[in-house]
Amino acid sequence: MKNLSVLMKFLGALLAVGMVALPMLVSADAAPAAAAVPPPVPNKGDTAWMLISTALVILMTIPGLALFYGGLVRTKNMLSVLTQVFVIFCLVAVLWVVYGYSLAFTAGGNLNSYIGGLDRLFLKGLTVDSTVETFSKGVVIPEMAFMVFQLTFAAITTALVVGGLAERVKFSALLLFSVLWFTLSYLPMAHMVWFWGGPSAFKDPSGFLFNKGALDFAGGTVVHINAGMAALMGALVLGKRIGYPKSAMAPHSLTMTMIGASLLWVGWFGFNAGSNLEATGTAVLAMVNTVVATAAAALAWMCTEWLLKGKPSLLGAASGAVAGLVAVTPAAGYAGPMGAIVLGAVAGVVCLWAVTGLKKAMGYDDSLDVFGVHAIGGMIGAIGTGIVVSPKLGGSGVFDYATGKVGDFVMGDQVISQLWGVGTVVIWSGVASFVLFKLIDLVIGLRVTEEAEREGLDIASHGEKAYNP
């Protein structure tokens, strides 16, 4: 009995220990499962916003840019400009999914500072389940949405160059230039400015200008200065239009130009606010800035012209609006609304001077003032971003992913970073564009014949007219 009693006490003690230990064992087994955090899932609202933004940027190009440019040329060249913009959009869209996206937004190994790799060639490995991180740690969107959104940027940037060459360039030469320039200028610039590891891997190798700290929210350098420099080089290599500047070459339809400018303005909300990649307060800020900067620039251009010439013009207001849109693009998500207004107003006045005084002094024939509006406006915006981003001026400051908060802001340092961006794109695009135009001119010729230019490119190049009786 005594032994039995001892045994019972031992078994009771063992049971008690087991009861205590069991939850601990269960907890230990469950710990690994609890540690396995499921991957983030795209928010349906963010995804919807990116699809809407993509559609808005397409609206900017076709029909927005096409009509804006088309209205500015003479009647005999209206259809040619529409065709050029439309076909370039189609061309770049195909090139983007074949190799463009891969070279712009994947790691490039030893060349990563300047260009990406071939991981996404022909969209290899890209599925509807693939995701990319936004600017918020742990927040993702479908990679396919990001890919097609960036496609629209590449397409409109290449199409912008048309304005510098309008009314005298061969259609075949323009298409060849578009392929080569997209490959050798747009893709490297997009990679240098926008490629990085994302908030969760911000220490990974990034593009050259991103690593320099250059801020470009939606494309002041990548899009506008890049295209503006190409247009200038094209205008210089092509030479002036027959009769320029002595013969009158007034826009044939300011109605079309105004419609185009308005579509650009509406579509630009996708361009700027969409570049936030999320439907958050920063996207709202970018939209507000896009409204007020554009309005300020339109008023500044028109009023300055009014003072100088005695009459306000629709062309001035529309051109000023585009200048404001360009200038606010790199600052859209960084500036406060008051900073955006100042940026827009400055761009309106300076770009007016660029398309009149500077253009006359340099003697080039940039048909639709792509350099004066987009390159100069882009420079104002890019450099100005280094100022208006200051928290003391109502800006957002620069977020430091290492600390998880806005870092200490030194305006001089940021402006230097912005100058790195401006200087790089001016040199890169300027040299690449000039060489490409020269080579194409030597191989197939850039310019139509004098007879074709006098007849108009609508008939000479396409056998059609924009307007028939």
Instruction: Evaluate whether residue 167 is within a structural domain.
Output: yes
Domain that holds residue 422: 44-462
Give the 3-state secondary structure of 233-274.
HHHHHHCCCCCCCCCCCCCCCHHHHHHHHHHHHHHHHHHHHH
**What pLDDT, in 10s, does the model give residues 233-279?**
999 999 999 999 999 899 999 999 999 999 999 999 999 999 999 99
Instruction: Evaluate whether residue 421 is within a structural domain.
Output: yes
Closest to 270 (Cα-Cα) out of 206, 219, 197, 212: 219
- Angle subtended by helix axes 143-160 and 187-194, to nearest 10: 130
321 DSSP 8-state letter: H
Q: Tokens for 88? A: 């370039």
138: left (phi over 0), alpha (psi -120 to 50) or beta: left
Instruction: Evaluate whether residue 34 is within a structural domain.
Output: no
The CA R_g of the chain, rounded to the nearest whole Å, is: 28
Closest to 57 (Cα-Cα) out of 377, 210, 227, 271: 271
Instruction: Assign 261 to helix, strand or coil.
Output: helix
Cis omega (within 30 of 0) for bond into 245: yes
Instruction: Evaluate whether residue 13 is within a structural domain.
Output: no
- Distance of CA 231 to CAs 101, 295, 317, Å? 24, 26, 22
pLDDT at 38: 87
- Distance of CA 245 to CAs 156, 175, 369, Å? 28, 27, 14
Instruction: Evaluate whether residue 431 is within a structural domain.
Output: yes
CB count within 10 Å of CB 364 equals 21
Strand pairing category for 405-406 and 399-400: antiparallel
Query: What distance in Å separates the CA atoms of residue 380 and residue 339, rounded to the nearest whole number?
Result: 13
- pLDDT per residue of the chain (469 residues) written in tens, 0 to 9: 454 454 455 445 444 444 444 444 444 444 455 567 788 999 999 999 999 999 999 999 999 999 999 999 999 999 999 999 999 999 999 999 999 999 999 999 999 999 999 999 999 999 999 999 999 999 999 999 999 999 999 999 999 999 999 999 999 999 999 999 999 999 999 999 999 999 999 999 999 999 999 999 999 999 999 999 999 999 999 999 999 999 989 999 999 999 999 999 999 999 999 999 999 999 999 999 999 999 999 999 999 999 999 999 999 999 999 999 999 999 999 999 999 999 999 999 999 999 999 999 999 999 999 999 999 999 999 999 999 999 999 999 999 998 999 999 999 999 999 999 999 999 999 999 999 999 999 999 999 999 999 999 999 999 999 999 8
Query: What distance in Å separates the CA atoms of residue 232 and residue 432, rounded to the nearest whole number?
Result: 12
Instruction: Evaluate whether residue 369 is within a structural domain.
Output: yes
The number of folded domains in the chain is 1
Phi, psi of 200 (to 5 degrees): -80, -10
Contact 301, 272 (CB under 8 A): no
Cis omega (within 30 of 0) for bond into 32: no
Instruction: Assign 399 to helix, strand or coil.
Output: strand
The CATH number that applies at residue 276 is: 1.10.3430.10
Q: Tokens for 110? A: 């030893």
Contact 193, 421 (CB under 8 A): yes
Query: What distance in Å separates the CA atoms of residue 19 and residue 127, rounded to the nearest whole number?
Result: 50
**What pLDDT, in 10s, does the model give residues 434-454?**
999 999 999 999 999 999 999
DSSP class per residue in 93-148 = HHHIIIIIHHHHHS--GGGTTT---STTGGGTT--TT-EEE-SSTT-EEEHHHHHH
Q: Give the start-end residues of each E strand in 277-421.
A: 399-400, 405-406
Instruction: Evaluate whether residue 64 is within a structural domain.
Output: yes
Instruction: Evaluate whether residue 18 is within a structural domain.
Output: no
Closest to 433 (Cα-Cα) out of 203, 189, 84, 181: 181
